[in-house]
Structure 1
Amino acid sequence: MSDEIRLRGLTVRGHHGVFDFERRDGQDFVIDCTLGLDTSAAAQTDDVLQTVHYGELAEGLAGVVAGEPCNLIETLAQRLLDVALGYDLVEWAEIVVHKPSAPIPLTFADVAVVVRREKS
């Protein structure tokens, strides 16, 4: 499948991390999501019900980031992937979780975890 829907730079405050101050104070997480699906029916019918509504996708992903805290961004990425793969039309999904304020005492450009899965 070569069709994709991409959502980039979704920024949501969450309380994920292994340190107490991360859980207490929270920080922004930036999410990129790519969905693999066939968009030809949507293109032919011009009907949003024949595709994944990216506004609803964004809301679902944001709810996960703002929701139940976890220690690892790997866990957060898997939770987000579960949302993305929950759409019937989606054949595969990729999630990137960026943690721009990761507690690293050095200068860095980005910390991210990337997960990609196909439906079984």
Structure 2
Amino acid sequence: MDFLDEISLTGLTVFGRHGVYDHERADGQEFTIDLRLRLALDQAAASDDVRDTVHYGELAEKVAAVVAGEPVNLIETLAERIAVTALEDLRVQGVTVTVHKPHAPIPLTFTDVAVTVHRTRTTPGLEDITA
């Protein structure tokens, strides 16, 4: 299902302790999150009321809590948890989450490592998410 309307939040940078190595858990590092929500925004546009849309400030705080929270081994798992958090708002029909790990323990010169997941209400296992 395609939606023409989107809310984007890019560059949310949060300190977390994710990774497969002990030093990543002990020392931690910054992760940068990009979100793209797909939903209908016509009601919010008509009412001009924040209650009729996803409050991106509140969503940013929820996502930051996930990143700063319980450590996971893989950024794939972290991206999935963030997607589930975004889909808790029933107005959100789809979400794209990119987790950047620019300080990944790679002994070569690189700019970034990132994982992107795309989830919708019809993604198997996510159909029953409620607010």
When the two structures are aligned, how many residues end up with a matched partner? Answer: 120
TM-score of the two chains, using structure 1 as the length reference: 0.99
Q: 2:111 aligns with which of 74, 97, 109?
A: 109
Q: 2:30 aligns with which of 22, 28, 31?
A: 28
- Cα deviations across residues 15-74 of structure 1 (Å, max 9, x unaligned)? 000000000000000000000000000000001111000000100000000000000000
Q: 1:90 aligns with which of 79, 89, 92?
A: 92
- Aligned counterparts of 1:34 and 1:87: Cα–Cα separation in 2: 14
Moved beyond 2 Å, runs of 4+: none
Q: Where does the alignment leave 5 or more consecutive residues of structure 1 unmatched?
A: none
In the alignment, residue 95 of structure 1 is paired with which amino acid? V
Query: Which residue number corresponds to residue 79 of structure 2?
Result: 77
Query: Which residue number corresponds to residue 68 of structure 1?
Result: 70
- Aligned counterparts of 2:8 and 2:32: Cα–Cα separation in 1: 14
- Aligned counterparts of 2:86 and 2:96: Cα–Cα separation in 1: 8
TM-score of the two chains, using structure 2 as the length reference: 0.91
Deviation at residue 88 of structure 1 after TM alignment: 1.1
